[in-house]
Amino acid sequence: EVQLVESGGGLVQPGGSLRLSCAVSGFTFRTYWMSWVRQAPGKGLEWVANIKEDGSEKYYVDSVKGRFTISRDNAKNSLYLQMNSLRAEDTAVYYCARGYSSGSYWLDYWGQGTLVTVSS
Amino acid sequence: DVVVTQSPLSLPVTLGQPASISCRSSQSLVFSDGDTYLNWFQQRPGQSPRRLIYQVSKRDSGVPDRFSGSGSGTDFTLKISRVEAEDVGVYYCMQATHWPPITFGQGTRLEIK
């Protein structure tokens, strides 16, 4: 059974940092692109970042470039999102999702999400 | 960036009746390999999103066959043949042909009339 479990969310002050983690199981992690998607309270879905299978390519939505860093540890079957210089508008539930692999065309499995609240 | 526009944004439907959601993109979603990377997701209240349809019309495992996807180029549709109570939630289309960024529609809220 495919499982993705996020952790690391919480309350942080503007300008602060937070590191989200996503532990995965039930599939061969190293063969998939992985994604982070967020959802502000009462709003729609917004793609945040993608990372290639081996971590050699990373892509971000413009609003987080230079502040967020996506990474992965294939030995630990884990995905991460380092968030720095956080702003109020980063407040959202952050989901990790299985990205792309041949035969699996983007975001077929999602975690339960972790809430990040940026407020003083 | 490719803009994806859904309509309607709110969809009241009587149980047992059909429902249809439109998704239009600002440019063709046909990729250079000939495939079209247009997905549909369902988000029930309080739950994570769930993918229903990928590559326009391919139904994910476990998705009831009352859900179907169609379309091509820039115009796409999600249809529910007979709405059931468990279908209440928000539906999103998403394109992954021209990325970054991957872009989602605004969402369509389906409710029972």
Per-residue confidence at A24, pLDDT binned at 50, 70, 90? very high
Q: In this complex, which of B43, B48, B100 lies closest to A59 when CB atoms are compared? A: B100
Taking CA–CA distances from B107, the nearest residue in chain A reads A44
Per-residue confidence at A48, pLDDT binned at 50, 70, 90? very high
Q: Would you state the pLDDT for residue B36?
A: 96
Give yes or no for A27 touching B (CB within 8 A): no
Q: How many angstroms separate the CA atoms of B3 and A110, rounded?
A: 23
DSSP conformation letters of B32-82: TTS-B-EEEEEE-TTS--EEEEETTTEEPTT--TTEEEEEETTEEEEEESS
Q: How many angstroms separate the CA atoms of A114 and A33, rounded?
A: 20
Q: Would you state the pLDDT for residue A104?
A: 76
Q: Would you state the pLDDT for residue B111?
A: 98
CB contact (8 A) between residue B54 and residue A106: yes
CB contact (8 A) between residue B51 and residue A44: no
Q: How many angstroms separate the CA atoms of A81 and A76, rounded?
A: 15
**Residue A45 C-alpha from the chain's centroid:** 13
Q: Would you state the pLDDT for residue A105?
A: 85
Q: Would you state the pLDDT for residue B73?
A: 97
Averaged confidence pLDDT in chain A: 97
Per-residue confidence at A21, pLDDT binned at 50, 70, 90? very high
CB contact (8 A) between residue B54 and residue A105: yes
Q: For every one of its 113 residues, what pLDDT tens digit does chain B have, with 9 covering 90 and above?
A: 999 999 999 999 999 999 999 999 999 999 999 999 999 999 999 999 999 999 999 999 999 999 999 999 999 999 999 999 999 999 999 999 999 999 999 999 999 99
Q: Which of B83, B84, B100, B101 is nearest to B21 (CA)?
A: B83
Q: In this complex, which of A61, A95, A112 lies closest to B101 when CB atoms are compared? A: A61
CB contact (8 A) between residue B94 and residue A113: no
Q: In this complex, which of A44, A59, A60 lies closest to B92 when CB atoms are compared? A: A44
Show residues of chain A in contact with B39, CB under 8 Å.
Answer: 105-107
CB contact (8 A) between residue A106 and residue B102: yes
pLDDT tens-digit readout, A82-117: 999 999 999 999 999 999 988 778 999 999 999 999
